[in-house]
Structures are given as structure tokens and as C-alpha cells.
Structure 1
Amino acid sequence: MVSFSFLLVAAASLVPGALAAPGEQLEHGSTTSSRDIQAANYFSNWSEGGSNVRCNRGSGGSYSVTWSGQGGFVCGTGYNPGGSRTVKYSGSYNATGPGYLAWYGWTRNPLIEYYIIESYDILAPGEPWTKKGSFTFEEGTYDLYTSTRNNKPSIEGTRTFQQYWSVRTEHRVGGTITTGRHFTEWANVGLRLGNHDYAILATEGFVNGTKTSAGTANINVE
């Protein structure tokens, strides 16, 4: 499982209607992110370990990515801060190997990394998952899990922290994600979040043992 911190690259002075500096691909293991001040869209692009990844931000909340190789990556668009939102998205996602299409974010105090997984080929979690239940509502049925990352990179440096997971039982690419409903269901089984940092509709790929990831995605977040 890939965890990482972000560097927000902003214009020297930001005024209403101005844009932050655009995101760009850096060397493996580095990250750049940008925020559209008008639309509050947030773009992140990170890769490591020899991945052959091309992630490009489009207009508005759109991005496209192609990938293959031996490393890991996460890229996507969303909001900073995240929090309870009704997220509408559309597009295409075609992947083989370990990875996800997911609404992905972080909180602080407590430090939590969370996923609402919409589609995948192989889940292949990096740490053991503990199932906490499941729930069904008008958007679908999701299984709930938690896991723990020990001394791993995070948005607060190397830390030990929990991960929360909602995993959709029927895959989809496109629709509405009511994030607050997932937060409530997590709280109902004792999984409480902190203060929201960024959250993105992310495409992620990584290596698990001999299994590598490859694919393409074109996603738009409204």
C-alpha cells in the first residue's frame, strides 16, 4: 500500500480568480500538487520505484493516466480539504494487477488514511485487513475494513496510523459518492476520523509480491 506526503505548490500571491501553479511530474518519490482556487479542485501526482506512469491533469476536475511497471503511484483530483461531500464522477478505468479506483483522503488528530473503493482488479492489501461489517444504501453495498500501518510515510512524516476502507461489492466507474455516509458507517463500528486534510478521486497501482499493475484511466470529478 502506498502512503505519502504532499507538497502544495502555489502561486506567489493568490487573489480571487487566480490559479495556483500547475502540477508537474517530478522525480520518483517526489510529489507536486496544485489547487484551482476558483473551483477548489486539487490535483496530486506521485510515483516511486521505477513505475512507468504518465498522469496528466485536464480541465476542471479531470485527469488521465497510463501506467505499467515495478513501482507504485497515486494520482487524482479532488478537494483540499476533503470532508463530507457529495462527489459526482465519471470516466473510464481499465486495470490489471494490484490497485484501486477510490475516493482517497487523510485526516489529522487522529492521523487516518482512508479509501472508498469503487473498482479494482486485485485488492492485494499491504497489511492484514480486519472486517468491521458492511452496509447498503442507495449507492450500493460496501464492506468495511480497518488496517494499521506501522512506521510508514504519511502526511505527517513517518508514523504509525490506521487505514479505514469501504470496498464496493459491485464494481462501478462513475456515479455519486456521498462521503459523509461512509464516515457515519465507520463511526458506527468505532472508526472515527479527525480533521480533514485533502481527498481525491484517485487511481492507484502498486506491486504485491510478483504481481505488478498496468492500465489506463480517464476520470472527471464534478
Structure 2
Amino acid sequence: MVSFSTLAVGLSAIAGSLAIPSPYVYPVGKRGEFNFHLGPDHPLAIAKRNESLARRSNTNYNQDYTTGGSVNFSPQTNGFSLNWNTQQDFVVGVGWNPGSNLPITHTGSFSVTSGLGSLGVYGWTTNPLVEYYVMESNVGISGLGTVKGSVTSDGGTYTIYENTRYNQPSILGTSTFNQYISVRTSARTSGTVTVQNHFNAWKTYGMNLGTMNFQVIAVESWSGSGSAQQSVSNTGGGNPVTTTGSAPHTTTPAGNNGGGGGCSALWGQCGGIGWTGPKCCSQGTCKVGNSYYSQCLN
């Protein structure tokens, strides 16, 4: 016969074994790398990028500035049609707000039958307040300002101008501001504009942009008649840039870098001050003013 005390001890041991957690650690399956973070190759991340790209390729802003006369402007998603006959100022087009440094592709026609007009990228920045143009076609418009140099991009050469406008209409009301203008010497009505090449070249000459406001493919005139039809997107590929002019720079001796051309061109390709991207290396330096920058490799 089992004594009461013995039985009590046995029951106590059983209860203890039930109450105290087992020291055994059950294995947990390894979590996948995308359980909590969508990596770049995750299907949802790819879909998000594609959606963003598609949304960005579609224009979201219509520029419709007219002061009188007959200006028949018909904007559509990713394009517009236009005909005009006026002695008054107008700037019309379609694009994005805010703008960006993405390459812009435009395709279509542009014809000035009398007077003057221009076709190209048109935009504004704030802080500093700047009105800028990359004119793909310029018919009769002169007095663009001081020639700063030139930039070769997208199969053509553009002359770079800087101009100051005093107490003139702007996106912030009547103001004084600078104009930065690149004018293609061999006009075209269709093509891709690698906008960043112009931004870089302007910066080389101390022509600094601010925060992006709107950016459009636009037609401007203030005298005469003509017509245009353009399709617009900004998912096109870009092309390299070379810069020439009077910006302060030194030419790097041959053999000191992996790319050709003058120092200012290499510095411009690297994106300007502070750029540490993959195109730059430590093989030699570019001197701009009193500062040195890594050069670019092709």
C-alpha cells in the first residue's frame, strides 16, 4: 500500500513537470528576405515602379498663357495641337508639375508661317526664381542675352545664353529673375532632350537652378502665325554631353583620366559639385575655382 505522503510527493512532481516550461526551444523557420521589406526584385516592388513610371510618363500639367489674338490650343494627355495668328504674347504646351531631370521625348510638327516662334522645353524653378528654355527650334527670336558657351547633346550643338529680366511677369508675380536658354543650332521638331545635360552645362557657368516648378514642351510667339502638333513623354533615353565656353576650368593633361575632353565637360557629366556617383573615380581631379572634384570615366 502506497503511503499518503509518498502519493503526495508523486503528485507534486507531476504537477511541477506540467507547470514548468520545457527548456526545449522549438525551431522557427527562417523568414524570407521579403517578409518585411519589399526588395527591388519583389513582384510588388516591380509593379510599383512600373506604375510610377507609367504615371510619370503621362503629362499632368497644361501651360495656357495667352494675352490676346487668335491662339487655338488643344491640349490632350501626352500631347497638344495648336494654330495661331496673333500679335500678342503666348506660351502654351503640356508637361509636368513639378518638372524633373528626366529625358523628354517630343514628336510631331512645328511650322511658323509668318513672324517668329519657338518650340522646346520650357520651365521655371524657385529659390532661385529662374525661367529656362531648351529651344529645339527657334524662328526669328533674337536678343536672348549673353552667350555663355555651348553644349553638345542629343546629336546637336546648343548655344547657351543667360539673360536677366527686370520687373517682368513670372510665376511669383512681377519679379526680377534670370533666364537660362539653350538654343539648338540645327533645328528639329522631334527628338529626345536629355534635360540633365543642359542643367549640368548651365551649372558649369554658374547658372544654378532651384526647386522645380512646372516643365512643358511648349510653343511661344508674340508675332505672326503658325501651327504645331506634338506628342510628349519623359521616359526616353538620354545621351552624353560635352561643354565648351568660358566657364572657369583647367584642361587635365592627357593620361590623367579615363575620359576625354576638358575638365569642365568631365565635371559636368559627373553632375557638378559634390557628386560621388559611379561615374566618378579618384584618377586625377578637376579644378573648378578653388575646389577639386573627381573626374568621370566613360
Same topology, TM > 0.5 = yes
Q: Give the one of 72, 91, 96 matched to 1:74.
A: 91
The separation in 1 between residues aligned to 2:163 and 2:153, in whole angstroms, is: 24
> 1:11 matched to which residue of 2?
none
Task: Look up the SS of the partner of 1:120 in the other structure.
Answer: strand
User: TM-score, normalising length from structure 1?
Assistant: 0.76
2:102 corresponds to 1:85: yes
Match of 2:295 in 1: none
Distance in structure 2 (CA, Å) of the matches to 1:149 and 1:173? 28
Equivalence map 1:203-218=2 (5 Å):
203-206=219-222, 212-218=223-229
Matched, 1:147 2:163: yes
Measure, in 1, the Cα distance between the counterparts of 2:226 and 2:136.
16
Pick the structure with greater CA Rg.
2
Q: Closer, same or farther in 2 for the Cα pair 1:163/1:62, shift >3 Å? A: same
Contact preservation (8 Å) 1:98, 1:124: no
Question: How many angstroms does 1:69 deviate by?
Answer: 1.7
Counterpart contact for 1:141–1:168, Cα < 8 Å = yes
For structure 1, list consecutive stretches of 5 or more residues without a partner in the other structure.
1-35, 207-211
**Local SS of the residue matching 1:183:** helix
More helix by share: 2
Aligned to 2:214: 198
- What CA deviation, in whole Å up to 9, does each residue of 1:102-149 have, x standing for no partner? 100000000000000000221134xx6100001213431000000011
Change over 3 Å in CA distance of 1:51–1:187 after alignment to 2: same
In 1, the alpha carbon distance for the partners of 2:57 and 2:182 equals: 30
1: distance between equivalents of 2:207 and 2:189? 26
Distance in 2 (alpha carbons) for counterparts of 1:38 and 1:193 = 23
Count of residues paired in the alignment: 178
Letter in 2 for 1:80: N
Aligned residue number for residue 78 of structure 2: 61
After superposition, the Cα gap between the structure-2 partners of 1:140 and 1:151, relative to the gap in structure 1 and judged at 3 Å, is: same
1:40 deviation in Å? 4.3
Query: Which of 1 and 2 has higher RCO (CA within 8 Å, sep 6+)?
Result: 1
Cα separation, 1, equivalents of 2:84 and 2:174:
27
Pick from 80, 95, 120 the counterpart of residue 102 of structure 1: 120
Alignment partner of 1:47 out of 36, 55, 66: 66
For 1:213, the aligned partner's letter is G
Distance 1:131 1:82 in 2: 25
Q: Please give the alpha-carbon distance, in whole angstroms, between the structure 1 residues aligned to 2:138 and 2:159.
A: 14
What is the root-mean-square deviation of aligned Cα atoms in Å? Answer: 1.6
Partner AA of 2:136 in structure 1: E
Question: CA distance change for structure 1 residues 148 and 190 in 2, over 3 Å: closer, same or farther?
Answer: same
In structure 1, the residue matched to 2:193 is: 177
Q: TM-score, normalised by structure 2?
A: 0.57
3-state SS, counterpart of residue 106 of structure 2: strand
